[in-house]
Structure 1
Amino acid sequence: MSYTLDPEIVDVMAALAEQAAAGPRPGRGDWRTLRAVGEAGQAYMAGLVPASSGVQSSTYYARGHDEAAIRLRWYTKSSREPSGSADAAPTPAVVYAHGGGMVMGTLDLYDEVISWYVDRTGVPFLSVDYRRAPDEGTGTTLAEDVFAALTWLIGHADELGVNPVRIAVMGDSGGGGPTAGAAILARDRSVPLARQILVYPMLDDRNQTPDPARSSYLTWTYDNNYTAWRAVLGDAFGADTVSPVAAPARLTDFTSLAPAYIDVGDLDIFRDEAIAYAQQLAAAGVPIELHVHPGVPHGWERFAPHAGSAKRAMADRAHTVSTL
């Protein structure tokens, strides 16, 4: 049986393919063009959904493992009781790592996404400006930056009105790898973590064998994946020495990791690694919730937000955040 697209996204996919054919195409290994093209696409997607009203943000800084300043953006619902108020009970919170193949994406390009989650759930989010490969950071640095944001939030939980044992880490696509890596660090360093929420996460640098049956549906290609992982790992790319903090699919001991929520599209090159990661978590006794959405490729809910499958996926993620 052959793969087929969700009928609600056929026209959108055709339009995107036409746009892509008219623009620059990143060559294999060309991370600069991949970043430029990808961020233009992220800006386009950010404009497809009206900005959420009633969400405010402020800027903070954490210190990375190497003492570098990591910019953070704290989002709260405007109607939330201010911290320190007698009526304000400590709330859960989410530390978020934006998507972009670990080589692109910015805090600004994810304002719309984060604001939607905060508006929908009432749960505050801390978005992390982690260093992108290869010019800002490589290897485990990306996950260390997300972990630094987590520990910063725990350290400032009282003043921000957050319950320090009800904090989750969350990331999509290229942000999913550093998010899973931060969850590994949290376990290994005995830092409390309520949940890891991985949205079509990029976990395995060894995922380089194309699946011809899905090739015509891909929005993140195997060439893109090669370029991105090569940027992150450099000469270590594909070697046995790659740290699971940098490429979480390399992990061999999944015991005692935070409970996980994972979702991925059936036409996404990350499908198999996401399912395998969920299986290994489950085999180690870690509670999981896994969603595999049929007929949709990588990032479909961003460029086809009005499709029923996109609305269901977003609602499921919001429910997971709301129940922290």
Structure 2
Amino acid sequence: MTTARPALDPELRELLADMPLMSRLNPEVLAQLRQLPSPPIEPLLEHRQVDRRELTVPAKDGAPIPLSVLSPASPANADRTTAAPCIYWIHGGGMVMGDRFSQIDIPLEWLDQFGAVVVSVDYRLAPEATGTVPVDDCYRGLLWVAEHAAELGIDPARIIVAGISAGGGLAAGVTLLARDLGNPAIAAQMLICPMLDHRNTTTSSRQYSGVPGVWTGEMNAFGWASVLGDLTDAEVCPYVSPALAEDLSGLPTTYIDTGSAEVFRDEDTDYATRIWAAGGQAELHVWAGGFHGFDALYPQAHISTTARRTRTDWLARLLELRRIAAPLTPADGDRP
């Protein structure tokens, strides 16, 4: 019996018709995909006034974690006294591919719009790195950024953790870690079509299995198997598979978006629902006819520009509320 699926947005369907699609990943295909060069970041920076800094910070086991720090350039004689918001960016790629420059055009829009400092992390990939290594790498990078906020010109009260696909899942895991360890403070998390649940058993997972696509149920199973290795379900950590977290209380305000025509639709909507049930604040958008990562692949499509603008509007409201609230904090001398 053919599984019914939500129809694709008509414009996206036309664009997708010219793209070669797969249904499965395996080690041989992954090796071929990894040989493809990453889109260069230089064309994205050449029309922007950006200071770029490349550095490494130590992982839990001492391995180097590369970070790219992209800051709005200030005139040489400028006296910049206002610390900037920070977008801590975690890239997608199923936890098996991609690098810190993947999908970097998305947070660069917020550098343009808000003068945000963008920090993008290069976590180690599966299957070479398994278990908690990728999420630990992301957490260590975030911790370093928070500890060096003054040096980087970052307002530590306005650090937003953001990621797409696997990066969205890692962003959720990092935010859970920061909550449970009590450090660092995170103002908000933005989870773009996040990869949250290793069980791969939702209705949307089944709807997008057995058919070619941008990211299918079979590809999702391969990605999770690569990062989990020999772990049993009982051994999987909620920081790795955030949908397993029993308690979603105490999280920062959250933005989640997904497409109606993609594998992660149901686990993403469930995560938002559970944040609400725990008394938290989440804004959820399910874009009708959107496939996985549609706005990253085809940013010029109407639905994509709408999705991107909606995220930016949400960030604008968040940052404005943070700016208004700032004078009321004890750190500014208003202790009772």
| Bucket of the pairwise TM-score, normalised by the shorter protein | 0.7 to 0.9
Offset of residue 56 of structure 1: 3.4
> 8 Å contact 1:121–1:318 — kept in the other structure?
no
Offset of residue 68 of structure 1: 1.8
Among residues 61, 81, 97, which one is paired with 1:88 in the alignment?
A: 81
Matches within 5 A, 1:270-285: 270-285=264-279
Q: After the TM superposition, which parts of structure 1 deviate over 6 Å for at least 4 consecutive aligned residues?
A: 46-51
Offset of residue 158 of structure 1: 0.8
Give per-residue Cα distances to partners, 1:85-127, cap 9 Å, x unaligned: 6442112111110000000001233443443332233211100
> 8 Å contact 2:91–2:101 — kept in the other structure?
no
Offset of residue 228 of structure 1: 0.4
Structure 1 residues 213, 165: CA separation in 2 closer, same or farther (over 3 Å shift)?
A: closer
Give per-residue Cα distances to partners, 1:134-190, cap 9 Å, x unaligned: 11x211111111111111111111111111121111110011111111001100111
Q: Which runs of 5+ in 1 are unaligned?
A: none
Task: For 1:188 and 1:311, locate their aligned partners in 2 and report how far apart those are by CA, in whole Å.
Answer: 36
Offset of residue 60 of structure 1: 1.9
> 8 Å contact 1:52–1:115 — kept in the other structure?
no
1:134 matched to which residue of 2?
A: 127
Structure 1, 162-171 or 57-66: larger mean CA deviation:
57-66
Matches within 5 A, 1:38-187: 40=36, 43=39, 53-78=48-73, 80=74, 86-135=79-128, 137-187=129-179
Task: For 1:187 and 1:34, locate their aligned partners in 2 and report how far apart those are by CA, in whole Å.
Answer: 34
Identity of aligned residues (%): 33
Among residues 257, 266, 273, which one is paired with 1:263 in the alignment?
A: 257
Give per-residue Cα distances to partners, 1:261-291, cap 9 Å, x unaligned: 1000011100000011111111111110111
Task: For 2:220 and 2:89, locate their aligned partners in 1 and report how far apart those are by CA, in whole Å.
Answer: 21
Structure 1 residues 163, 290: CA separation in 2 closer, same or farther (over 3 Å shift)?
A: same
Among residues 5, 12, 27, which one is paired with 2:15 in the alignment?
A: 12
Task: For 1:48 and 1:81, locate their aligned partners in 2 and report how far apart those are by CA, in whole Å.
Answer: 22
Structure 1 residues 156, 213: CA separation in 2 closer, same or farther (over 3 Å shift)?
A: closer
Task: For 1:309 and 1:172, locate their aligned partners in 2 and report how far apart those are by CA, in whole Å.
Answer: 17
Aligned partner of 1:10: which letter?
A: R
RMSD, aligned α-carbons = 2.8
Task: For 1:5 and 1:42, locate their aligned partners in 2 and report how far apart those are by CA, in whole Å.
Answer: 27
Structure 1 residues 81, 118: CA separation in 2 closer, same or farther (over 3 Å shift)?
A: same
1:200 matched to which residue of 2?
A: 193
Task: For 2:306 and 2:286, locate their aligned partners in 1 and report how far apart those are by CA, in whole Å.
Answer: 12
2:291 matched to which residue of 1?
A: 297
1:211 matched to which residue of 2?
A: 206
Structure 1 residues 81, 35: CA separation in 2 closer, same or farther (over 3 Å shift)?
A: farther
- How many corresponding residue pairs? 312
Give per-residue Cα distances to partners, 1:202-260, cap 9 Å, x unaligned: 010001464347865732011110110000001115x1221001110110011111221
Asked if 1:288 corresponds to 2:291, the answer is no
User: TM-score of the superposition, structure 2-length normalised?
Assistant: 0.84
Structure 1 residues 166, 156: CA separation in 2 closer, same or farther (over 3 Å shift)?
A: same
SS of residue matched to 1:207: coil
Task: For 1:190 and 1:108, locate their aligned partners in 2 and report how far apart those are by CA, in whole Å.
Answer: 29
Q: Which runs of 5+ in 2 are unaligned?
A: 320-336
Offset of residue 26 of structure 1: 7.5
Structure 1 residues 249, 33: CA separation in 2 closer, same or farther (over 3 Å shift)?
A: same
Structure 1, 212-221 or 313-322: larger mean CA deviation:
212-221
> 8 Å contact 1:31–1:228 — kept in the other structure?
no
Structure 1 residues 263, 193: CA separation in 2 closer, same or farther (over 3 Å shift)?
A: same
> 8 Å contact 2:87–2:107 — kept in the other structure?
no
Task: For 1:73 and 1:129, locate their aligned partners in 2 and report how far apart those are by CA, in whole Å.
Answer: 8
Which of the two has higher C-alpha Rg?
A: 2
> 8 Å contact 2:209–2:217 — kept in the other structure?
no
Aligned partner of 2:33: which letter?
A: V
Aligned partner of 1:74: which letter?
A: V
Matches within 5 A, 1:16-27: 16=19, 19-20=20-21, 27=24
Give per-residue Cα distances to partners, 1:46-84, cap 9 Å, x unaligned: 899897523332112222222221110001122x468x9
Structure 1 residues 319, 76: CA separation in 2 closer, same or farther (over 3 Å shift)?
A: farther
Task: For 2:303 and 2:190, locate their aligned partners in 1 and report how far apart those are by CA, in whole Å.
Answer: 18
SS of residue matched to 2:54: strand
